[in-house]
A = this chain, B = another copy of it.
Amino acid sequence: MIEGVQSGSKTPRLRYAMVGGGQGAFIGDVHRKAIAMDGGAKLVAGCFSQDFKNTLATGEMLGLSKERLYRTYQEMIEAERKRNDGADFIIIATPNNTHFPITKLALERGFHIVCEKPLTTDSREAEKLGRLAAEKDLLFCVTYAYTGYPVVKHMRAMVAHGDLGDIRFVNAEYPQEWLASQLEKTGQKQSAWRTDPKRAGISNCVGDIGSHIENMVSYITDLKIRSLCARLDTIIEERNLDDNASIMLEYDNGAKGLYWSSQIAIGHDNGFRVRIFGTKVSLDWCQEKPDYLKISYLNKPAEIVSRGRDEFYPHAQKYSRIPPGHPEGYFEAFANLYSTFIPALAKKISGETLSEDDLDFPGVEAGIQGVKYIERCVESSKKGAVWI
List chain A positions with a Cβ less than 8 A from chain B: 1, 6-10, 13, 23, 26, 29-30, 32-33, 36-39, 60-63, 168-169, 171, 173, 175-178, 180-181, 188, 190, 229, 231, 233, 235, 244, 246, 248, 256, 258, 260, 262, 264-271, 275, 277-282, 284, 287-291, 294-298, 300-306, 308-310, 321-332, 384-387
Say which residue of B39, B246, B248, B323 sits within 8 Å of A269 (CB atoms): B323
The answer for the CA separation of A29 and B229 in the assembled complex, in Å, is 43
User: What B residues does A256 contact at CB under 8 A?
Assistant: 231, 233, 235, 244, 246
With A287-B325, A301-B303, A301-B304 given, is the CB distance from A267 to B282 under 8 Å? yes
Contacting pair B61 A9 (CB below 8 A): yes
> In chain B, what residue has the closest Cβ to A21?
B7
User: What B residues does A332 contact at CB under 8 A?
Assistant: 329, 331
Contacting pair A266 B33 (CB below 8 A): no
A sample of 8 cross-chain residue pairs with beta-carbon separation below 8 angstroms, ordered by A number, consists of A39-B63, A177-B298, A265-B277, A266-B278, A267-B302, A271-B325, A301-B306, A302-B304
User: What B residues does A294 contact at CB under 8 A?
Assistant: 267, 304
Q: Is the interface of A mostly helix, strand, loop or mixed?
A: loop
Contacting pair B30 A269 (CB below 8 A): no
User: What B residues does A328 contact at CB under 8 A?
Assistant: 327, 329-331
Contacting pair A325 B269 (CB below 8 A): yes
With A258-B246, A270-B325, A287-B325 given, is the CB distance from A296 to B7 under 8 Å? no
> In chain B, what residue has the closest Cβ to A60?
B10
The answer for the CA separation of A268 and B306 in the assembled complex, in Å, is 10
Contacting pair A269 B324 (CB below 8 A): yes
The answer for the CA separation of A89 and B194 in the assembled complex, in Å, is 44
With A63-B8, A169-B264, A246-B258 given, is the CB distance from A326 to B325 under 8 Å? no
